[in-house]
Chain A
């Protein structure tokens, strides 16, 4: 501090500025909290309104905001960005980047080992299945939002189509999971194209609103088409998946009896775990492959500049539709898995909340980054469980964590883009240059 007074004054706005800022913050807090905290209202014994004032609490709150504002401003001055001087030495940086490259393989190996390590802990296995489901949904939506840059707020619609496709085909026609899985994907992709057509001309916010509406339409249709979907009661008795025809049941024809081992319900959980892991990895593999194919490059080019795409002879209509269809297909697979895991589905599972959650995973992970999405799903779903001990403060902590993350890493956990092809060096592209897409 004392070593560089000149530098200090050049970027420190001075005491008056800090004081003024803190005063404004305190004023805003006063206005906000005067009603929220200052006056406590309650219904009296006869239903009349009783209220009393809590000016002491209010004063404490405003004082806390005032002090906190000064503290934040001081911290910002001490720790704020200082030119381009690298605080971390180069050797540590190279070690970190090496460790960064190891994250994905280590995570993958760990995921494979989860059922072995936590065989007796049903809770962790269930949580793992849940996280992997969202990883898969995130990777599916990543095609639409991250690669093609089309903001889709109704992704849950395809999840629902997949789930109901499997549930209805299996309960009505007795088709097995392995037959229904591709059918669920195809049907969801079909709905993706169907949604794609009317929204082709829309961009940005308008696209988001229409996809949001589409998600709601699907849910309302499911609720109201009682004769087919059972309405709000949902579909029950959805068959469990089989290991290529061998059921995982305690009966004589079950897998346990066949292998001559004692039956345990954990077998099914472990099977489901590896099933969703396989589906998620399939999604990942296909997406990585597609990125290196002309269609994937066209998606990314579409995100970067649609006009330039048209000038290069790229059919933007089919490019957008394939993006919608591909994303929807993976959503459909995930939906079919969800149905077979739960054994029961109802429209309640397919609310806007799910769409928002999956979109948050994609945005948080860094749009277009496969590893980022996986980490974000782990943080969002697993982290949410981690805070369960905090009870009602869980949302608060979680919201705060997200705000902080968005301040430090506005383009998501992994913001940079890896090129799909390179001549000599495979260098990541800074997120400043990569467009977010606008419809």
Chain B
């Protein structure tokens, strides 16, 4: 790990009673990079996410988020909504959590809550319809519109989010997270349930988010085609510990990773690899 990490996780552990979900995990995510966190089911990836985004309080360990201006924030000291508000870490969920009864546009407006709350003078300026509020609201709608356009949902802006097809909902959730103007975007299995074409579109979207907005991305994903295509750095977990780390190419050839995925011994995995090549 060199250069300029936006997120550095240091000796993170999370226990639920006697179960150790994450054990002494350390890794970093580079600024303006896509870092993938992969591993077999039950490896503890989502637990790591929940610790980073404040849904769990880690048993021990430190997580430091450094903004572009050098300002560092200790994530383990903030709780739930403050991580999104102050540290600007946004996330999506493994099982999509949109606001199904609100339109796609409204979903993106809710995401801009904190900025709009300031603009509306904690509601009072908004209540009297002050011009500054109107301007801010229009700007928020414009931003939402830009994102709807980027994910190809501009035509369905006024449809209830719960009525959108699955793939659209996934993209809308990412757009919603991006509307909070995050420094770090955490995506929990964004390609789950998508077909090959949708996965390819997703890869493109994530690359453009990194390229155009300079947002760093932390990604949990099972779809290896997505991971290998877009990741700059891959961290592999199994049973709560990190078993490998490196570029996609390095990970692809790592016998430990293959062993973890195949559930086999390391020697067997090497044998499999050698017989295959």
Q: Does B243 contact A (CB under 8 A)?
A: no
Taking the closest CB of chain B, its distance from the CB of A360, in whole angstroms, is 22
Return the chain A residue nearest B112 by Cβ: A294
Return chain B residues, CB-CB under 8 Å to A316: 80-81
A28 to B159 alpha-carbon distance, docked (Å):
47
Q: Does A96 contact B (CB under 8 A)?
A: no
Q: Does B209 contact A (CB under 8 A)?
A: no
| Segment 80-117 of B: residues with Cβ below 8 Å from A | 80-85, 90-91, 93, 97-103, 105-106, 109-114, 116-117
Q: Does A15 contact B (CB under 8 A)?
A: no
Are A308 and B99 neighbours in the complex by a CB distance under 8 Å?
yes
**Among B119-127, B190-198, B257-265, the stretch in contact with A:** B119-127
Q: Does B163 contact A (CB under 8 A)?
A: yes
Return chain A residues, CB-CB under 8 Å to B73: none
Are B106 and A297 neighbours in the complex by a CB distance under 8 Å?
yes
Q: Does B251 contact A (CB under 8 A)?
A: no
Are B141 and A313 neighbours in the complex by a CB distance under 8 Å?
no
A300 to B158 alpha-carbon distance, docked (Å):
16
Knowing A290-B123, A316-B81, A434-B101, the reply to whether A311 touches B106 (Cβ < 8 A) is no
Q: Does A435 contact B (CB under 8 A)?
A: yes
User: Of the candidates A423, A426, A435, which one forms a contact with B145 in the assembled complex, judged by CB atoms under 8 Å apart?
Assistant: A423
Return the chain A residue nearest B119 by Cβ: A294
User: Of the candidates A294, A314, A429, which one forms a contact with B103 in the assembled complex, judged by CB atoms under 8 Å apart?
Assistant: A429
0/1 interface trace, chain B 171-209, chain A, CB 8 Å (1 if under): 000001100100000000000000000000000000000
Knowing A289-B127, A424-B157, A433-B160, the reply to whether A308 touches B113 (Cβ < 8 A) is no
Q: Does B216 contact A (CB under 8 A)?
A: no
A412 to B99 alpha-carbon distance, docked (Å):
21
Taking the closest CB of chain A, its distance from the CB of B214, in whole angstroms, is 20
Q: Does B162 contact A (CB under 8 A)?
A: yes
Are A294 and B141 neighbours in the complex by a CB distance under 8 Å?
no
Taking the closest CB of chain B, its distance from the CB of A156, in whole angstroms, is 26
Return chain B residues, CB-CB under 8 Å to A322: 123
Knowing A313-B85, A314-B110, A314-B114, the reply to whether A424 touches B120 (Cβ < 8 A) is no
0/1 interface trace, chain A 390-427, chain B, CB 8 Å (1 if under): 00000000000000000000000000010111111111
Are A421 and B105 neighbours in the complex by a CB distance under 8 Å?
yes
Return chain A residues, CB-CB under 8 Å to B101: 300, 303-304, 417, 429, 433-435
Q: Does B46 contact A (CB under 8 A)?
A: no
Return chain A residues, CB-CB under 8 Å to B141: 421, 423
Taking the closest CB of chain B, its distance from the CB of A145, in whole angstroms, is 15
Return chain B residues, CB-CB under 8 Å to A304: 99-102
Q: Does B53 contact A (CB under 8 A)?
A: yes
A residues apposed to B, CB below 8 Å:
286, 289-290, 293-295, 297-298, 300-301, 303-305, 307-316, 322, 417, 419-427, 429-430, 433-435
Q: Using A293-B127, A421-B105 as known contacts, list a sample of 14 further A-B pairs with CB atoms less than 8 Å apart, ordered by residue number in A.
A: A286-B127, A294-B109, A294-B120, A301-B99, A304-B102, A307-B93, A308-B98, A309-B110, A311-B55, A311-B177, A419-B106, A420-B106, A421-B141, A422-B105
